[in-house]
Amino acid sequence: MQITQRDFRDRSDFTLIKNLLLKTDRQDLFVMAEEALQSPLVQNATQLWEVSGDLVAFALVDTYANLCFAIAPSYRTTAMQDAIIKYAKGAMRARNAALGQQYTLDASCESTDAPARALFVRSGFTQQHIRSLDYTRSLLAPIPPCVLPVGFRIRAVIGEQEVDALVALHRAAFGTNHMNAAERLAIMRTSQYVPDLDLVVETSDHHLAAFCIGELGQLADGTLIGYPDPIGTHPAFQHHGLASALFSTALQAFHDRGALEARSGTSSENIAMRCLFEKMGFSCSSEKIWFSLEV
């Protein structure tokens, strides 16, 4: 049967993408794709492949120039892989030209995924030294108590009216300008967003000192998974144990809602976060390697 290719249209296409991710055991991409596809920039860099109206593959380039794709098992051919890479390269070139930038097209895969590694190498990508580390923790094991210093309290985010303050906190915590109001609102408008799990630490004079965005996801078998990610502390309030207190609060909230496991991740270069994971009872479960391509 003939495979047809088309652009992303509207929200109904995300439902098709969600169903494909469930079929391909790529639920890990669900939240990222839902957040990304709220951006017109990403919608314009998303492609769908169909057979008789059924989605068999999709690819998108997110706002950070990362390639995300999934292919139904029976259509994982070299031709389909090449079509996805060709599309992504063209989409990245078009974005660079429109925005006057020279970003590379980036992609990642599990370190154990030999076919994906072979695809990227064959397509001209260069492997990078940085890795993404995935951490997991059973929520059946005892959760460390929340120990919060005097003068601080943990609360849920008030709502979208607090977005500007949340963006400022995120930028200060990570020393970056990547987060903006549109991206923060996209997180708050996904189907898996739980307002009570969007946590901040507040000082007695109402300054935001730290944050942790908690989300709940469901695996194909119905198992609930908690995702405490990202988590960050304003430089002025670091080394007070605020991140540990947020972690404990989020993990207990996941457990109370029936989640059996918590998952998160960080860069191989983020030693402080890796130490925090280990302190909170997480263990490294897998790693992703990264590739870049000049387009």
Distance CA 193, CA 34 (A): 11
Task: State how far the alpha carbon of 270 is from the alpha carbons of 86, 168, 275, in Å.
Answer: 33, 21, 9
**Mean pLDDT of the chain, nearest integer:** 94
Report the pLDDT averaged over residues 142-153.
Answer: 95
Distance CA 138, CA 162 (A): 32
Total Cβ atoms within 10 A of residue 11: 10
CA dihedral sign of residues 106, 58, 187, 44: positive
> Tens digits of per-residue pLDDT, 225-268?
999 989 999 999 999 999 999 999 999 999 999 999 999 999 99
Structural domains present in the chain: 4-103 (3.40.630.30), 141-259 (3.40.630.30)
* pLDDT at site 218: 80
What pTM value is reported for the model?
A: 0.86
Task: Indicate if the pLDDT at residue 220 is higher than 80.
Answer: no
> Tens digits of per-residue pLDDT, 88-107?
999 999 999 999 999 999 99
Task: Indicate if the pLDDT at residue 25 is higher than 80.
Answer: no
